[in-house]
Amino acid sequence: HCKSYAVRSTDGGKSWSAAIELDRPAWYEAPRGSIIGSLDLTEPTGVAIGNKVTVVIRPIYSQTMWQCWSDDAGATWDAAARTTFTGYAQSMVRTKSGAILVAHRSPHYSVNISRDNGLHWDDGTIIDYPNWAMGCAVEVEPDVVLCTYMNAYRNMPLLAQLIRVTKNDIKPVKKGD
């Protein structure tokens, strides 16, 4: 069984907090954390939206990923909730336009998008069919995300794609775009 934690710095990385548990459930009108948190959490990945932070977490047993929110820059966290999509080995990025992308393994190598700060997620788009994938997503220019991910074996070349985030979906960036 696993739990997920965050550590935070308020001085540019000179010092760090103690571990802060991400899943903080409670009974009605009880303080956060009065119930033991989920034991199904591993590999958290997050983005900041001002002082709000949203984190997507890889499950061990759940069929879908987990998600947690903090409204105070990660000092305290709300209870975990399940997302609407499955995934493992995820990377998360927030674009200049505010879209949040989660690139992940399962099914195949997919990207799910939220356009409302992580409250709702699309059905996802499969962008590749590698045997194995663990990657990183980074915005390289406004609304263009570079997704890099491992190949089937460590001795094989790294796989990569440029993805353009549009109003309605994502599209591969083609040569000359």
Please give the pLDDT value at position 149.
Answer: 94
Please give the pLDDT value at position 95.
Answer: 97
Please give the pLDDT value at position 1.
Answer: 67
Q: Nearest 5°: phi and psi at 109?
A: -115, 110
Pairing of strands 109-114, 100-105: antiparallel
Please give the pLDDT value at position 14.
Answer: 98
* Cα–Cα distance measured from residue 157 to residue 149, given in angstroms and rounded to the nearest whole number: 10
Closest CA to 117 of 47, 45, 65: 47
- Count other C-beta atoms under 10 Å from residue 94's C-beta: 18
Average pLDDT along the chain, 177 residues, taken 10 residues at a time: 90 96 91 88 94 95 95 94 95 97 95 96 94 91 96 88 95 86
